[in-house]
Amino acid sequence: MSDTSRGKGSCLCGEVSFIANNASKSVGACHCNMCRKWGGGPFMAVDCGPNVTFEGEENISVFNSSQWAERGYCNKCGSHLFYRLKANKQHMMAAGLFDDNLLFEFDHQVFIDEKPSYYCFSNKTNEMTGHEVFSRYRSPSE
């Protein structure tokens, strides 16, 4: 994807803040059933890799959402913070948390096959089905 930059952000109540040293400039939306259950709608996220530092970590609760990933949220205000891969600690930070989002470009959507028909983004983006995502990211060890 595109190059990265340093981004910072916080949850709604401010008890959790973070610095992502290698935040991607591209924003992705995930339409999968789990993300939509979790957030009430598609999950808009920024790939920040493993290099994310948090303040107020005691206010982060982590939900073990699958064998390979977990989801963090602020236990004071309920803001969704990240989807994180257990194997390499890659953080997909929720796009809405960032204080400065001028550089972001919404350029990809995943699990497009699980998107309900009642909404549709008009942005021109790359789209991948769940099957395409899994076959692209499945690690050889699994």
* Interacting residues with Zn ion (CB under 5 A): 11, 13, 15, 30, 32, 35, 74, 76-77, 79
**Closest distance of CB 72 from Zn ion, Å:** 11
Residue ranges of alpha helices (H) inside 6-122 are: 33-39
Q: Which CB atom, from 35 or from 93, has the smaller least distance to Zn ion?
A: 35
Question: Taking a C-beta distance cutoff of 8 angstroms, is the pair 85, 68 a contact?
Answer: yes
How much of the chain is helix, strand and coil, in % rounded to 5? 15, 40, 40
**Closest distance of CB 2 from Zn ion, Å:** 21
Q: Which CB atom, from 20 or from 128, has the smaller least distance to Zn ion?
A: 128
Q: Which of 65, 92, 101, 60 is nearest to 79 (CA)?
A: 60
Q: Which CB atom, from 102 or from 117, has the smaller least distance to Zn ion?
A: 117
